[in-house]
Amino acid sequence: MSIKLIAVDMDGTFLDDSKNYNRARFARQYEQMKEQGIRFVVASGNQYFQLISFFPEIAHEISFVADNGGWVVSEETDLFNGELTKQEYNTVIDHLLTLPHVEIIACGKRSGYTLKSYDEAFKTMAATYYHRLEQVESFYGLDDVFFKFALNLPDPLLDETMDSLAETFEGIVVPVSSGHGSIDLIIPGVHKANGLRILQEKWGIQDREVVTFGDGGNDLEMLRQAGFGFAMENAPPQVKQTARFQAGHNNREGVLNVIDKVLKRQAPFNE
């Protein structure tokens, strides 16, 4: 049995807390992956335009499951876009705007959109995750394909808000946790695992030949789906309980350490 696909979440997983990774070490690993016929996929809740900035030398030849599965790109070719109808989009925005503690980013294919009226600190933070982010007067009447909403709110309100949104938006969007004080509202069934499934079908790769890494609630589906799902040491208990395996801490190159084991066919990849 050989591994044919490695998929990594970014924040809290592949990246350390300063949003960096060991580029020289990974570059060596990536050359070995290519030699062994292993595909490398970035599977993140973040925007495609931000994700490609982390891999300038190879972005044209790898694949991205961006915006939590809302947009799948392989070798610069679009394979899939989720899309909310205008009615669904407006229904979600109508309700979110009644929540005073929530700041919103509407995630479209051309850009992310947030309100000019929001706090400057939030807009500065948002710009680090959205390389294309427009500040608008209103969320209504925007001309784009929308596949996700990203919400920012105080940590103590996270669980209560998740439950409330799940009930309010049943059948339209599903809330998933994407980190401290962050909720993503995704189209039902349009998650990272679905994006990987699209790529696996394209390449003829079985679940048992896949390794995934994640640390958040938006990684659960792909950790379950893969033959080798690794929760990070820094992941919360729910994620660790879901994954069959555990990688080291994101600040200690936990993902790269496991990739070494894949390349050397060491346990648990030596069966």
> In the chain, what is the straight-line distance between the N-terminal and C-terminal CA atoms, in Å?
6
Specify the DSSP element, H or E, that contains 146. strand 146-152
CA angle 102, 236, 205 (to 5 degrees): 100
Record the tokens describing residue 86, joined without a space.
């205008």
The single residue listed with the structure tokens 């784009």 is 144
Asked whether the beta carbons of 151 and 183 are under 8 A apart, the reply is: yes
The SS3 of residue 89 is: helix
Q: Which of 135, 98, 141 is closest to 116 using CA atoms?
A: 135
The SS3 of residue 130 is: coil
- Please confirm, yes or no, whether 219 is among the known catalytic residues: no
Asked whether the beta carbons of 143 and 132 are under 8 A apart, the reply is: no
d(CA 46, CA 217) in angstroms, rounded, equals: 14
* Residues with catalytic function: 9
